[in-house]
Amino acid sequence: MRRAFVVLLALTAASTAHAGGLGILGTGGLRTQSTYYYDNSAPPKQYQLTQAIGGGGFGIEGILGDRDDRLVGLFRGYWLREAPETNPASMNTEIPSDQVVAAVRTDPRDIGVAMVGIDWAAVGDPTGFAFNALALVGSGFITTDHTEFFQLEVGPGVSWEFAHNLRLTANLSYQLRYRKTFEHGGSAYAGIRYMFD
């Protein structure tokens, strides 16, 4: 109890942050997903295929660091809507379509995603135009069907400070997800940030 009180006191006594920023962003992309289905024999035999699932959404960013820093901390929180799964019976499968037995998600899926990482202005001027490298780690921690997952993203980006404290950003990311198995994909992000300092 005493330790918790000391931590709380330290947090309330901390000075106000004068560097950083807030932003809004949009995102879209594709990822792979393993879909399992069965034939109608007795006993049924299991099959697996990989399909591409599209998605898009929007959210907020929090930036920690001065606007002229090459390396800043980055938080992303966003809502993502993923497309429904395709029924294997309508795809080119190993068995005739009238023998496919599958339970697939036929409605879009809503996910709440939170990620933290770094944004490095590797080439150029952070307060002008720069080529960036980003690395983030987080999770899809809110799902409607209890399928939460771990997520890792890395990739290149660009930023352009077109007015004092206002910055346009865009980046492409390779995406690795893990929930029971690894899934791969790619995402694109675009947004605008307001830097405090």
32-85 pLDDT, tens per residue? 998 889 998 888 999 988 999 999 999 999 999 998 999 999 999 999 999 999
- What is the number of alpha carbons within 13 Å of residue 24 lying toward its C-beta? 2
Q: Which domains does the chain have, with CATH numbers?
A: 28-195 (2.40.160)
What does the pLDDT read at residue 102? 87
140-156 pLDDT, tens per residue? 999 988 999 999 999 99
- Percentage with pLDDT > 90 across the chain: 68
**pTM, 2 dp:** 0.85
103-139 pLDDT, tens per residue? 888 999 999 999 999 999 999 999 999 999 999 999 9
Report the distance separating Cα 98 and Cα 106, nearest Å. Answer: 19
> Measured in Å, how far apart are the chain's first and last C-alpha atoms?
37
* Length in residues, the chain: 197
What does the pLDDT read at residue 197? 77
The SS3 call for residue 4 is helix
Report the distance separating Cα 21 and Cα 4, nearest Å. Answer: 29
Least Cα distance to 39 among 96, 104, 92, 90 occurs for: 96
